[in-house]
Amino acid sequence: MTKVIGITGGIATGKSTVSNFLKENGYQLIDADEMVHELQEPEQSLYNAIKENFGPAFFNDDKSINRQKLSDFVFSNPENLAKLSEIQNRVINEELENRRNQAVAFDQKNNGGNGIIFMDIPLLFEGNFTYFDEVWLVYVPFEIQLKRLMARNDLSDEQARSRIESQMSIEEKKLLTDKIIDNSASIENTKEQIKKLLKGSGENF
């Protein structure tokens, strides 16, 4: 039977490192962030929902969403963030389930249902997504998360803390997950942890 594994973490914990390694090794991986960008294209479902609920002020002249302006707006007020999260969860949940079902059908047809499908969902716990046989958490301690986010996005300490604290804490996620990948050290160390988890799932590595 096809196994579905959810991958999550916190902002700047390094999920993309894990997801890229899995894709490079031939695994089917559904990336929620990539999917959201697709759904935010003009006249797609999430685009229309954002326009309807937040108005035209957050769109560029070419009709694309001004993501920076929208991000600054929602992170400035918890109510705005909650509203956007509710809209996104409703639209994204349906599309993720559709893509999961398509991936499972593909695996059953081409691999006899013996494969593993990964779903990279940053807000997996916050969104109450429940499509998984197992959840892997990409973890780093808060202080490392803060430093990486400040460096990656050129943010002040206050701005970075605001973004991190808008999500469920990484320590709380540790209590809810099945497997933990500690991404505090080198990329090679992280890859070795992934290989060990794959072997534990019956994969050859």
Q: Is 12 annotated as a binding residue?
A: yes
Q: CB neighbours of 163 closer than 8 A, spacing ≥ 6? A: 11, 75, 149, 155
User: Which three-class secondary structure state does DSSP give residue 135?
Assistant: strand
CB count in 10 Å sphere of residue 167: 18
d(CA 192, CA 202) in angstroms, rounded, equals: 15
Q: Which amino acid is at 155?
A: L
Q: Is 14 annotated as a binding residue?
A: yes
Q: Is 57 annotated as a binding residue?
A: no
d(CA 85, CA 53) in angstroms, rounded, equals: 12
Q: Is 8 annotated as a binding residue?
A: no
Q: Is 15 annotated as a binding residue?
A: yes
Please enumerate, by residue number, every residue annotated as part of a binding site for ATP: 12-17
Please enumerate, by residue number, every residue annotated as part of a binding site: 12-17
